[in-house]
Amino acid sequence: MKDNNIIRIGLIGSGDITRFIHSPGFKLCPNVQIALACDSVQETAENTARMFEIPKVTTNYHEVLDNPEIDAVVVATPNSLHKTISIEALESGKHVLCEKPLGIDLAECNTMVEIAQKSGLVNAVSFIYRFAPAIRYLKYLIDSGALGEIRHFRAQYLQRVPDIFLGWRSKSSLAGAGGGALGDVGTHLIDFAHYLVGEIDAVSAWTKTFLPQRRVAGTNHFEDCDVDDAAGYLAEFTNGATGVFEVSRMVPEEELRKMITSMWKLTGQRVVRSIISRIHLTFRCVQDCHMMKKNWSPCRFLMLFCKFQDLRAV
């Protein structure tokens, strides 16, 4: 932070997530300025810059890291680049918000965590659902003991994605091991299972690739795809709770973008079940931000953190 308490952000990767989520979010923060949009595709950087009145663009992320005016970066590139760019950013003294999944395998993630911890800089992974009012309320209920012992956790992230080639998301070399449905959205479920219930000790899982080749949009050309279209796993948590998880990109239309999370205590207290059913309602709508207000969560859980430093909690 150089002056006037303004935090200057550099976007590295200026594609969908920076356009739909990060940039509109930063625009709501009075002490944040998006100073630089970087994308390896010039046109993408320019389009994002135009949409959000970002004064500078570049196609070379080193220009972001070498810029002394930049305080923090968002790493929102294909997954295979997260490690290199995040580590270089930390070494350049920039705070880092890295998109999920953190790395493409456990070894990469461990290295990144170690370097981030040693850096003393603020860093976070973009597991956004932790900030959804329903999840924050659920966390409060669990931590306060209101739900008693959690014995079972069940989560689904169901999508319908067009049957076309999905670019880097269809290639494990770019998206990471299991970089399909599991790596793309299953990581969110694992994150809030960790957040709400605790560490997972053991899993029994499957992944399935239904379409080993996908057509490139607008052509008759097919590309090989080696990531999963669906995954499922049974889990056992360190604290003895059990879990069932399901993710898919190929559910029928009526299930489109529906996400259901349920958690309950199996000791028969009806009051707990009725609280949880209200949480379902809220949580199922988190992908539709405008719906969040229409669903029930105590007011104080609708308020979000306002200091960047609070992200350290993630």
Q: How far is the CB of 244 from ligand NAD (least distance, A)?
A: 22
Q: How far is the CB of 254 from ligand NAD (least distance, A)?
A: 23
Q: How far is the CB of 269 from ligand NAD (least distance, A)?
A: 33
Looking at the Cβ atoms of 153 and 192, the one nearer to ligand NAD is 192
Should residue 182 be labelled a site residue for ligand NAD when binding is judged by CB under 6 A? Answer: no
Which of 40, 92, 111, 242 lies at the binding interface for ligand NAD (CB under 6 A)?
Answer: 40
Should residue 39 be labelled a site residue for ligand NAD when binding is judged by CB under 6 A? Answer: yes
Could you tell me the two tokens for 152? 């079972």
**Nearest residue (beta carbon) to ligand NAD:** 15
Looking at the Cβ atoms of 38 and 190, the one nearer to ligand NAD is 38
Looking at the Cβ atoms of 6 and 113, the one nearer to ligand NAD is 113
Should residue 207 be labelled a site residue for ligand NAD when binding is judged by CB under 6 A? Answer: no
Strand partners, 300: none
In this chain, which stretch among 6-14, 220-228, 262-270, 275-283 interacts with ligand NAD, using CB under 6 A?
6-14
Write out the binding residues for ligand NAD, residues 70-99 only, by CB under 6 A.
76-79, 81, 99
Q: How many residues bind ligand NAD (CB under 6 A)?
A: 22
Which of 1, 41, 146, 203 lies at the binding interface for ligand NAD (CB under 6 A)?
Answer: 41
Length of the chain: 314
Burial level of 235, CB count in 10 A (0-12/13-18/19+)?
buried
Which of 128, 132, 189, 200 lies at the binding interface for ligand NAD (CB under 6 A)?
Answer: 128
Give the whole-angstrom CA distance, residue 208 versus residue 259: 20
Q: What are phi and psi of 164, to 5 degrees?
A: -100, 170
SS3 14: coil
Q: How far is the CB of 169 from ligand NAD (least distance, A)?
A: 8
Burial level of 179, CB count in 10 A (0-12/13-18/19+)?
buried
Strands 7-12, 32-38: parallel, antiparallel or unpaired by DSSP?
Answer: parallel
Q: Which residues contact 280 (CB under 8 A, 6 or more apart)?
A: 260, 261, 262
Looking at the Cβ atoms of 14 and 261, the one nearer to ligand NAD is 14
Looking at the Cβ atoms of 147 and 228, the one nearer to ligand NAD is 228
Distances (CA, A) of 271 to 66, 121, 260: 56, 43, 20
Looking at the Cβ atoms of 22 and 95, the one nearer to ligand NAD is 22
x/- contact string, 152-181, with ligand NAD (CB under 6 A)?
------------------------------
Looking at the Cβ atoms of 99 and 246, the one nearer to ligand NAD is 99
Could you tell me the two tokens for 99? 């998109």
3-state helix, strand, coil in the chain (%, to 5): 40, 25, 40
Could you tell me the two tokens for 293? 């207000």
Burial level of 49, CB count in 10 A (0-12/13-18/19+)?
buried
Query: Which residues of this chain interact with ligand NAD, rule CB under 6 A?
Result: 12-17, 38-41, 44, 61, 76-79, 81, 99-100, 126, 128, 184
